[in-house]
Structure 1
């Protein structure tokens, strides 16, 4: 696979007079070390042994929290592709924050900037611009990315309970970890909590590091976003990334019947019980395989690999 010539992705006119950011600051290595140490915790199960319940809850917590990240952080807080009430909004943020991926407003602010600057030097986690490891995880520990840019999420910052939860995002993590430890013991803590958290991290992170590199392109977007069926399976639909970048206002990201989008299916069922409502679908022409808009964009994109 040939390396992409970045001239294929010209800087938009609105950014040409803007000084590109320099990644010349040291990462927050202390915070990263804590993140890395969590990867060792599951090894504690070698000393405690495990029960089948530990593994069952591990799988359940992976999928439950993946839904909270994809349906909550992404499709609700970042893009507002559906509506819900204030109480359920808070519960969704709380559950998503048990993923230990920082606060809902922090996540949404960064994601909105990602779409604004996708694959330009201002994109905080473009694998094309910044390489695999930075886009996969290190960007989180770059000092400029640590604060929450509340200007990007004024619509969410008007809710004081969301701001509090965003500033104290470790509270849900601690609550879940303590609950697992108290009810399932150390083996449950090591497997059901720690292992599922590590798997959840890297499952989520693949969308940043891989979905702009590997897969197919239905739509000729101005970035390198791609559709990847495998990533869609492990992230409950987020792998239909080219679809999403082409029409980000849609709750549904799988635009074809065969593009499995578990997050959308669950939200659809929840809408039957009025927990959520006003789910947005893509325009009908984007859903038709023979639609001119889709057909014209079914052209091969430049083959790319992430920057070193």
Structure 2
């Protein structure tokens, strides 16, 4: 039971901070929050992404490039230009690291207002941090795994964030349905998105990239958006009215 609880926490809470903080805040700025709130999100993203921590700056800039160049040779990740899912993952990793470490020049319009906490990112992205989290997961499994198949979840814990990325950036560009005609292959992967908390409404998002609510049709429930509504009501964030 403990293993399944851990995996659910890593899947959904890690996913929440990926879509809420990295995607909707860092990349698209569909809401605003205080500098303190931003720093809290940095730390919570590190806690719940653990060994696969993604920088808000690296993710935010890369995602803006994805929208600008979707399904072209300049797209950081596209099934159209990568031979297989592993090739796409490898290229995505390299582009992300080049952006995050500022090894490539990026036009200012793609970096404008993207949050960055360089000192924390350096620590959270370090090999030591990633190995420490990997060791924690391993020890947790040693203590709580009671069946051989529990160990099949350990690699998933190690690579949770890339798995989330693959589901959207690969499969949601191949399978699903479309509500809007766009100039790329983005699709809505799930009609009721219980798995990706609204992220799988990818065709909707590519059509209205600045919209906070990724759902459009009555059955397209965006769980992350409704959490954002609650946080807005509580004064933790301020949703942009235009989003």
Q: TM-score range by the shorter chain?
A: 0.7 to 0.9
Q: Is the 8 A contact 2:22 2:59 kept in 1?
A: yes
| Residues 270, 81 of structure 1: alpha-carbon distance in 2 compared, 3 angstrom cutoff | same
Give the stretch that moved more between structures: 234-243 or 192-201.
192-201
Shift of 1:137: 1.3
What residue in structure 2 maps to residue 14 of structure 1?
A: none
Query: RMSD of the alignment, in Å?
Result: 2.9
Rounded to whole Å, the distance in 1 between the matches of 2:87 and 2:225 is 26
Segments of 5+ residues of structure 2 without an aligned counterpart are 146-150
List per-residue Cα deviations over 1:145-198 (Å, max 9, x = no partner). Answer: 5222564324235x5xx122333333665675577678x574359788764343
Shift of 1:245: 0.6
Q: Is residue 203 from structure 1 mapped to residue 164 from structure 2 by the alignment?
A: yes
The residue correspondences of 1:5-84 to structure 2 (distance < 5 A) are 52-84=1-33
Segments of 5+ residues of structure 1 without an aligned counterpart are 1-51, 283-308
Helix, strand or coil at the partner of 2:98: coil
Rounded to whole Å, the distance in 1 between the matches of 2:96 and 2:4 is 34
Alignment match of 2:73 (pick from 118, 121, 135)? 121
Shift of 1:246: 0.6
What residue in structure 1 maps to residue 148 of structure 2?
A: none
Shift of 1:92: 1.4
What residue in structure 2 maps to residue 289 of structure 1?
A: none
Helix, strand or coil at the partner of 1:203: helix
| Residues 120, 251 of structure 1: alpha-carbon distance in 2 compared, 3 angstrom cutoff | same
Alignment match of 1:146 (pick from 90, 97, 108)? 97
The residue correspondences of 1:90-239 to structure 2 (distance < 5 A) are 90-97=39-46, 98-99=48-49, 100-134=52-86, 136-142=88-94, 145-148=96-99, 149=102, 151=108, 152-156=110-114, 162-170=117-125, 173=130, 186-187=142-143, 195-229=156-190, 232-239=193-200
Rounded to whole Å, the distance in 2 between the matches of 1:240 and 1:118 is 16
Q: Is residue 272 from structure 1 mapped to residue 233 from structure 2 by the alignment?
A: yes
Rounded to whole Å, the distance in 1 between the matches of 2:81 and 2:152 is 36
| Residues 123, 276 of structure 1: alpha-carbon distance in 2 compared, 3 angstrom cutoff | same
Alignment match of 1:88 (pick from 33, 37, 49)? 37
TM-score, normalised to structure 1, is 0.64
Q: Is the 8 A contact 2:229 2:239 kept in 1?
A: no
List per-residue Cα deviations over 1:218-271 (Å, max 9, x = no partner). Answer: 111111111111693321111111110111111110112210211111111111
TM-score, normalised to structure 2, is 0.79
Between Structure 1 and Structure 2, how many residues are aligned? 226
